[in-house]
Protein backbone atom coordinates (compact mmCIF):
# COMPACT_ATOMS: atom_id res chain seq x y z
CA UNK A 1 0.00 0.00 0.00
CA UNK A 2 1.13 3.52 -0.69
CA UNK A 3 1.90 5.81 2.20
CA UNK A 4 -1.27 7.89 1.66
CA UNK A 5 -3.43 4.75 1.48
CA UNK A 6 -1.94 3.49 4.76
CA UNK A 7 -2.66 6.81 6.38
CA UNK A 8 -6.26 6.78 5.13
CA UNK A 9 -6.80 3.23 6.38
CA UNK A 10 -5.38 4.11 9.80
CA UNK A 11 -7.66 7.15 9.96
CA UNK A 12 -10.69 4.97 9.13
CA UNK A 13 -9.75 2.54 11.92
CA UNK A 14 -9.29 5.40 14.39
CA UNK A 15 -12.61 6.88 13.31
CA UNK A 16 -14.35 3.54 13.95
CA UNK A 17 -12.66 3.42 17.35
CA UNK A 18 -13.73 6.97 18.24
CA UNK A 19 -17.35 6.18 17.29
CA UNK A 20 -17.29 3.08 19.50
CA UNK A 21 -17.91 0.72 16.58
CA UNK A 22 -14.74 -1.25 17.38
CA UNK A 23 -12.86 -1.81 20.64
CA UNK A 24 -9.32 -0.58 21.28
CA UNK A 25 -8.15 -4.21 21.02
CA UNK A 26 -9.80 -4.58 17.60
CA UNK A 27 -8.21 -1.32 16.45
CA UNK A 28 -4.81 -2.55 17.60
CA UNK A 29 -5.23 -5.85 15.71
CA UNK A 30 -6.32 -4.05 12.55
CA UNK A 31 -3.43 -1.60 12.72
CA UNK A 32 -0.97 -4.45 13.32
CA UNK A 33 -2.40 -6.41 10.39
CA UNK A 34 -1.68 -3.49 8.10
CA UNK A 35 2.00 -4.30 8.52
CA UNK A 36 2.92 -0.83 9.65
CA UNK A 37 6.30 -1.21 11.33
CA UNK A 38 6.79 2.49 11.83
CA UNK A 39 7.71 3.51 15.38
CA UNK A 40 4.94 5.38 17.18
CA UNK A 41 5.51 9.07 17.55
CA UNK A 42 5.61 10.49 21.04
CA UNK A 43 4.33 14.00 21.61
CA UNK A 44 4.60 16.11 24.72
CA UNK A 45 1.25 16.74 26.32
CA UNK A 46 0.30 20.39 26.30
CA UNK A 47 1.22 22.01 29.55
CA UNK A 48 -1.48 23.39 31.75
CA UNK A 49 -1.45 27.15 31.63
CA UNK A 50 -0.55 28.40 35.06
CA UNK A 51 -1.87 31.66 36.41
CA UNK A 52 0.50 34.58 36.65
CA UNK A 53 2.43 35.00 39.84
CA UNK A 54 1.45 38.30 41.37
CA UNK A 55 3.51 41.00 43.07
CA UNK A 56 1.62 42.80 45.82
CA UNK A 57 2.91 46.05 47.25
CA UNK A 58 1.08 47.44 50.28
CA UNK A 59 1.98 50.91 51.55
CA UNK A 60 0.37 52.32 54.69
CA UNK A 61 1.80 55.77 55.33
CA UNK A 62 1.87 57.52 58.68
CA UNK A 63 -0.29 60.24 57.05
CA UNK A 64 -3.10 57.71 56.61
CA UNK A 65 -2.61 57.04 52.90
CA UNK A 66 -3.20 53.40 52.00
CA UNK A 67 -1.89 52.14 48.66
CA UNK A 68 -2.40 48.59 47.39
CA UNK A 69 -0.76 47.56 44.15
CA UNK A 70 -1.23 44.08 42.68
CA UNK A 71 0.42 43.35 39.34
CA UNK A 72 1.73 40.29 37.48
CA UNK A 73 5.44 39.66 38.10
CA UNK A 74 6.28 40.05 34.41
CA UNK A 75 4.64 43.48 34.36
CA UNK A 76 6.63 44.47 37.48
CA UNK A 77 9.84 43.52 35.67
CA UNK A 78 8.78 45.66 32.72
CA UNK A 79 8.09 48.61 35.03
CA UNK A 80 11.49 48.18 36.63
CA UNK A 81 13.19 48.41 33.25
CA UNK A 82 11.31 51.63 32.42
CA UNK A 83 11.46 55.08 33.98
CA UNK A 84 8.50 54.26 36.24
CA UNK A 85 9.15 54.29 39.98
CA UNK A 86 7.24 54.18 43.20
CA UNK A 87 8.39 57.08 45.38
CA UNK A 88 7.71 55.36 48.71
CA UNK A 89 9.83 52.37 47.71
CA UNK A 90 12.65 54.68 46.69
CA UNK A 91 12.31 56.60 49.96
CA UNK A 92 12.64 53.33 51.92
CA UNK A 93 15.80 52.38 49.99
CA UNK A 94 14.32 49.12 48.70
CA UNK A 95 16.67 47.60 46.15
CA UNK A 96 14.32 46.67 43.32
CA UNK A 97 17.11 44.85 41.46
CA UNK A 98 17.63 42.55 44.47
CA UNK A 99 13.87 42.10 44.76
CA UNK A 100 13.54 41.12 41.08
CA UNK A 101 16.49 38.75 41.52
CA UNK A 102 14.72 37.05 44.45
CA UNK A 103 11.55 36.73 42.39
CA UNK A 104 13.50 35.25 39.45
CA UNK A 105 15.00 32.65 41.79
CA UNK A 106 11.49 31.52 42.74
CA UNK A 107 10.89 33.30 46.05
CA UNK A 108 7.24 33.23 47.16
CA UNK A 109 5.50 34.85 50.10
CA UNK A 110 6.37 37.98 52.03
CA UNK A 111 9.69 39.35 50.78
CA UNK A 112 9.71 42.75 52.47
CA UNK A 113 8.06 44.00 55.66
CA UNK A 114 9.30 47.43 56.74
CA UNK A 115 8.08 49.93 59.29
CA UNK A 116 9.93 53.25 59.19
CA UNK A 117 10.69 55.50 62.15
CA UNK A 118 7.88 57.87 61.15
CA UNK A 119 5.32 55.02 60.94
CA UNK A 120 5.26 54.24 57.21
CA UNK A 121 4.70 50.54 56.55
CA UNK A 122 5.57 48.67 53.38
CA UNK A 123 4.97 45.01 52.58
CA UNK A 124 5.96 43.29 49.37
CA UNK A 125 4.48 39.85 48.76
CA UNK A 126 4.77 37.39 45.87
CA UNK A 127 1.82 35.03 45.30
What per-residue confidence (pLDDT) applies to 24?
83
* 3-state helix/strand/coil string of the chain: CCHHHHHHHHHHHHHHHHCCCCCHHHHHHHHHHCCCCCCCCCCCCCCCCCCCCEEEEEEECCCCCEEEEEEEHHHHHHHHHCCCCCHHHHHCCCCHHHHHHHHHCCCCEEEEEEECCCCCEEEEEEC
The model's pLDDT over 46-97, given as tens digits with 9 standing for 90+, comes to 565 657 788 888 889 888 889 898 888 887 777 666 666 555 455 666 777 7
Domain span including residue 69: 54-126
pTM: 0.49
In a domain, 47, yes or no: no
Check whether residue 18 and residue 58 sit in a common domain: no
The model's pLDDT over 35-60, given as tens digits with 9 standing for 90+, comes to 655 556 666 665 656 577 888 888 89
What per-residue confidence (pLDDT) applies to 11?
85
Check whether residue 63 and residue 107 sit in a common domain: yes
Check whether residue 74 and residue 114 sit in a common domain: yes
Amino acid sequence: MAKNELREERMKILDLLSKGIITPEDAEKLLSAMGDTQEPQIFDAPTKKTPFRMLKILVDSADGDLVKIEIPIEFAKLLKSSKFNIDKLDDMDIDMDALISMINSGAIGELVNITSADGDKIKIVVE
